[in-house]
Amino acid sequence: MLGADPNSQLSTGSSILSALQDLFSITWLNRSKVEKQLQVISVLQWVLSFLVLGVACSAILMYTFCTDCWLIAVLYFTWLAFDWNTPKKGGRRSQWVRNWAVWRYFRDYFPIQLVKTHNLLTTRNYIFGYHPHGIMGLGAFCNFSTEATEVSKKFPGIRPYLATLAGNFRMPVLREYLMSGGICPVNRDTIDYLLSKNGSGNAIIIVVGGAAESLSSMPGKNAVTLRNRKGFVKLALRHGADLVPTYSFGENEVYKQVIFEEGSWGRWVQKKFQKYIGFAPCIFHGRGLFSSDTWGLVPYSKPITTVVGEPITIPKLEHPTQQDIDLYHAMYSGGPGEALRQAQDQVWPPGDGGSGGELSLPLRASSWEEPATNRFLPSS
């Protein structure tokens, strides 16, 4: 029997090791590609739900009336009539839905992170003033309507309720989807109920700028609508709920929008929609489904960092005066700005403004943009 050549054995071993390394490398690359596609799909499904789910489900149910399955539609609308006021009482939160794996893919696509700066007491109620609105409020949804960024672990004992347009809860099926994430209508009845009849430890997240702020959303710009937005301060005073300034760095970076100048026909149409319907239609685009070089509805993959600032202690005043409201509005607009600016330096280094350069956060009420009237919150 001939002896084996040691050099040949060494060469064979090296070849096998090299082949295994190549195999694992290919597997990892394929897995990485699949992960990225899952992230894109998870974001797209939410965008489509945001834009068309309510209308699509309404149309399907109306069509069902004309088919042999009409009884299903009758039963649903009958149940809907009995369940109509549930959203006003906080809805039906589902921890199972909030913990879906799809939200982790959603988070990792951008990625999105939640930064806690101070503890919140479970014996108090809170109103988070969320800024800016952006096109769709992606940071607000991911951080407070899902557990992707572990909001319940970071703020134990606090129940977040993201407040959105009441009209969304008139849409069949969409209303159930929203309520499962802890989303509620942004109107006085709902907020009064949650802050007075739902115990303590409630945190209502209000996107203060609303539709007016979304019209100014574009990469590299921090246009925050706050100066005349005082209804949320009045609500906080009536219930003694502490105000918590919350800012999402990068929220305006994920979509590009056509900005119409004041006085143009486009801005006139947007303001009419905002006044009579409650939202302002925007002409915007992100990237395509299969390529970042094409246009589509998928937002651009830009980091979003949501910083929850220091709570401002608010006294309970059943009948706050205009002077009271102005005082605490000024405290909200001024003092927390410095704390958020310090947080900005940590999470959003100067010059790292995504597609738009350095971002800046105004500190005083006089520097925030003048808004239109917020028709969804009580006026001051």
User: Is residue 371's pLDDT more than 90?
Assistant: no
Q: What is the 3-state secondary structure (H, E, C) of 100-142?
A: CHHHHHHHHHCCEEEEECCCCCCCCCEEEEEECCCCCCHHHHH
The mean pLDDT value for 165-180 works out to 93
Q: Which residues pair with 205 in a beta bridge?
A: 128, 162
User: Is residue 146's pLDDT more than 80?
Assistant: yes
- The lowest-confidence range among 29-33, 131-135, 203-207, 231-235 is 29-33
Decide which of 208 and 30 is more confident. Answer: 208
CA angle 86, 87, 90 (to 5 degrees): 95
- Average pLDDT across the chain, whole number: 83
Domain residues of the chain, as ranges?
30-367
pLDDT band, residue 379 (cuts 50/70/90): very low
Q: What is the largest CA-CA distance in the chain?
A: 104
CA angle 257, 268, 132 (to 5 degrees): 40
The Cα-based distances of 303 to 47, 149, 352 in angstroms read 17, 13, 11
- The lowest-confidence range among 45-54, 243-252, 262-271, 343-352 is 343-352
The mean pLDDT value for 13-28 works out to 54
Give the model's pLDDT for residue 184.
97
Q: Where are the beta strands (DSSP E) in the chain?
A: 112-116, 126-131, 159-164, 183-185, 202-207, 242-249, 256-257, 284-287, 295-296, 304-308
The mean pLDDT value for 140-168 works out to 96
Q: Distance between CA 44 and CA 68 in Å, rounded?
A: 33
Residues 6+ apart with CB under 8 A from 7: none
Radius of gyration, alpha carbons of the chain: 24
- The lowest-confidence range among 18-27, 181-190, 308-317, 334-343 is 18-27
Q: Distance between CA 186 and CA 164 in Å, rounded?
A: 5
User: Is residue 168's pLDDT more than 70?
Assistant: yes
pLDDT band, residue 346 (cuts 50/70/90): low
Q: Where are the beta strands (DSSP E) in 240-309?
A: 242-249, 256-257, 284-287, 295-296, 304-308
pLDDT band, residue 290 (cuts 50/70/90): confident
User: Is residue 133's pLDDT more than 50?
Assistant: yes
Decide which of 8 and 195 is more confident. Answer: 195
- What's this model's pTM, rounded to 2 decimal places? 0.82
User: Is residue 373's pLDDT more than 50?
Assistant: no
Per residue in 59-117, pLDDT tens?
999 999 899 999 999 999 999 999 999 999 999 999 999 999 999 999 999 999 999 98
User: Is residue 222's pLDDT more than 60?
Assistant: yes
Q: Name the one residue in this structure whose structure tokens are 């009419």.
A: 272
User: Is residue 19's pLDDT more than 70?
Assistant: no
Give the model's pLDDT for residue 353.
44
Give the model's pLDDT for residue 22.
56
User: Is residue 344's pLDDT more than 80?
Assistant: no
Written as one letter, the residue type at 311 is P
The Cα-based distances of 208 to 40, 130, 243, 244, 322 in angstroms read 29, 6, 12, 12, 19
The helices-and-strands tally (H runs, E runs) of the chain is 13, 10
User: Is residue 337's pLDDT more than 90?
Assistant: no
The mean pLDDT value for 232-239 works out to 96
The mean pLDDT value for 220-234 works out to 88
pLDDT band, residue 359 (cuts 50/70/90): very low
The length of the chain in residues reads 380
Give the model's pLDDT for residue 17.
57
pLDDT band, residue 363 (cuts 50/70/90): very low
